[in-house]
Structure 1
Amino acid sequence: MIDIPDTLAHLEQPEYTGENRCLPCTAVNVVLGLALAVGLGVAVSVPVGALAFAAALLLIRVRGYLVPGTPTLTRRYLPERALELFDKSPRTGPTIETVSPDELAAVLTAADVATARGESIRLSAGFETRWDERLSSGGAAEPGSDELQSMLGAEEVDRLDDVAFVLDGIRRIRWESTAALAADTAAAPELRSRIDGWDDLGVDERRDLLTGLRLLRERCPGCGSEVRTTAERLEHCCRRPRIGISSVCAGCNEPVVELVASESSADPWLELAGVSDGP
């Protein structure tokens, strides 16, 4: 017997539904579904047309759209005046296919996620507000499989503990803390809405962008206390020195960012963190 709730749950696409739903895409697809239903009603019978329209509405409800590729088609072909009615005028942010640590600051600045202030980089006021709103809503504190799949672009996510997961049965990933995981869960939908090409990025590229964002936070995503970021040169007896960068909450002592990079690749991270690598 078919489990209808379970089937619908597998069809759902959180990145295109709920608060992430695109109203222009929804409107276009409802019109397309109605046109299809009318055509079937005329060619076959009214009940068949009505059934087709109901099925179209159900798909739009759980998936966000009926026709594959609608988000791209809507931005490309719907008149700008129509998009403005929904506050969805063409994006001014970057379109990216890949991103490396060297490009983090440029991508985040172009997307109006961050701004340059003198020699430092800070979160833009608008993005920081939206990020904090998502954090305070509670949904980011304990993300489910759907949120994690959407954030990382994985088909399957299995939980090992509060901050460790296995992606697609192969790759194990871990966050520094529940606060760091909540920060990424809340930030990912905002990045998707601002950066064209987000959905085509790999796991490492997404995580680099999200880690770079956390380095820009001045307040803990968990308790709201001040975050203190430091960097130090790590010496080792049998390999080249590396740079360790750490952001830790002064209130709850939770790590927000912990990363280690080679000296040759540490500059982009140090730029975002706004710190030097010590003496």
Structure 2
Amino acid sequence: MTTSHDARLGLLSRLRRPEYTGENRCIPCTVVNVALALAGAGTLAAFGRPGLGAGGLAGALGVIWLRGYLVPGTPHLTKRYLPERVLRLFGKGRAAAPPADIDAESYLLSADVLVETPDEADLAFAPWFASAWSDALDGIRLDASVADADDADAPITEAADAPTTHDADDAGTAADVAALAALTGIDADSLSLDWRGETAFAFADGERIGHWESRAAFLADVAADRVLTDRVDDWTTLSLPARSGVLGALRLFVEDCPACEGSVILEERVVESCCSSYDVVAGRCTACNARLFELDLPPSLATE
């Protein structure tokens, strides 16, 4: 038998929009709708109907809580009309690129790291850099395997009745942090690398200092940094943001995935949230699906 309580719950379930509430709630959309609700309540109060205004505000806030928005089509309206700078305040817009100390392409060309392709239509790794970069990747893999072997051979010091706490990823994490320390010039004891799915977030003393789209992107940067440190005189004198920009630029020219050696292709896609949408071009491995980079695509170049 269906009770009135069950009926109310069923009605609430039909009204609720989980794609716009809970963890999926969009803060910019919510702020816009609450502002409209407050404006409406204020208008009613100004015309001598404060009770009606208060009741209307309570009802509007209830609708926003249930559905995520009050005005139909809010996600499309905010996507179209909210300025990029406002969306960025809520972490919804495109991340603003940090100011570059140097022009990465010019720097790499002057260092003979990049050269023109034979048809002069594009740029590519110089042969010496491609070879050295590949050797550096082999060295990184060797470092990881040695760390793994050392971890396996380490004596277990826990008491016999204590649970074993060894993590299979500990060795890889230690090797990654050591590589991150060499990459950033920051003491390893201050660093941590947090893998969330395919994405790595780097922290120094708890403060986020960077991220990589995938392990392939991380390996590409670590290997390139080793080569540039050994072969380019002024590399270590550049600021960390400048080096980061140069390493990111180098990933645009990676043809074989550093993680699995699959082919890297360029593809255009649309990045969407409930209140923003923009075109990007990304480098993706066809074998392991790792993303090496993602760049905003100017609207004039986007495919309709």
TM, length-normalised to structure 1:
0.52
Deviating more after overlay: 180-189 vs 169-178: 169-178
Whether 1:250 aligns to 2:286 is yes
1:153 to 180, 185, 188: 185
| 1:128 Cα deviation from its structure 2 partner | 0.7
Could you tell me which runs of 5 or more consecutive residues in structure 2 were left unpaired when the two chains were aligned: 1-98, 145-171
Which residue does the alignment assign to 1:228? 265
CA distance in 2, matches of 1:151, 1:193: 13
SS in 2 for 1:216: coil
Distance 1:245 1:115, change over 3 A: same
- CA offsets, 1:76-117, max 9 Å, x none? xxxxxxxxxxxxxxxxxxxxxxx9397222111111211012
Match of 1:186 in 2: 223
Distance 2:272 2:201 in 1: 28
Q: CA deviation at 1:242?
A: 4.9
Amino acid at match of 1:148: L
Residue in 1 that maps onto 2:41: none
Cα-to-partner distance string for 1:191-224 (whole Å, 9 max, x where unaligned): 1233333223333222221111111011111111
Partner residue in 1 for 2:95: none
Q: CA RMSD in A?
A: 3.2
1:122 aligns with one of 121, 124, 127: 124
Aligned to 1:211: 248
- Structure-2 change in CA distance of 1:180 and 1:192 (3 Å): same
* Runs of 4+ with deviation above 4 angstroms: 139-142, 232-239
Would the aligned equivalents of 2:201 and 2:208 in 1 still touch at CA under 8 Å?
no
Change (3 A) 1:191 1:154: same
Identity, in percent, stands at: 25
Question: Does 1:278 find its partner at 2:303?
Answer: yes
Per-residue deviation, 1:145: 2.9
In terms of Rg, which structure is larger? Answer: 2
Amino acid in the other structure paired with 1:246: A
Instruction: Find the aligned partners of 1:216 and 1:198 in 2 and give their Cα distance.
Output: 19
Deviation, structure 1 residue 124:
0.9
Return closer, same or farther for 1:101/1:139 CA change in 2, 3 Å cut-off: farther
Provide structure 1 residue ranges, at least 5 long, that are not aligned to the other structure.
1-98, 268-275
Alpha-carbon deviation of 1:151? 0.6
**Cα distance change, pair 171–235 in 1 and its aligned pair in 2 (3 A):** closer
Distance in 2 (alpha carbons) for counterparts of 1:242 and 1:101: 26
1:1-279 correspondence to structure 2 within 5 Å: 100=100, 103-117=103-117, 118-137=120-139, 138-139=141-142, 142=172, 143-155=175-187, 156-161=190-195, 163-232=200-269, 242-257=278-293, 259-261=294-296, 263=298, 277-279=302-304
State the aligned residue count. 170
Q: Deviations over 1:142-184 (max 9, x none)?
A: 4343321221232431232372220243224221111211111
Q: What's the TM-score, normalizing by structure 2? A: 0.48
SS state at 2:103 partner = helix
1:8-47 CA-to-partner distances (Å, cap 9, x unmatched) read xxxxxxxxxxxxxxxxxxxxxxxxxxxxxxxxxxxxxxxx
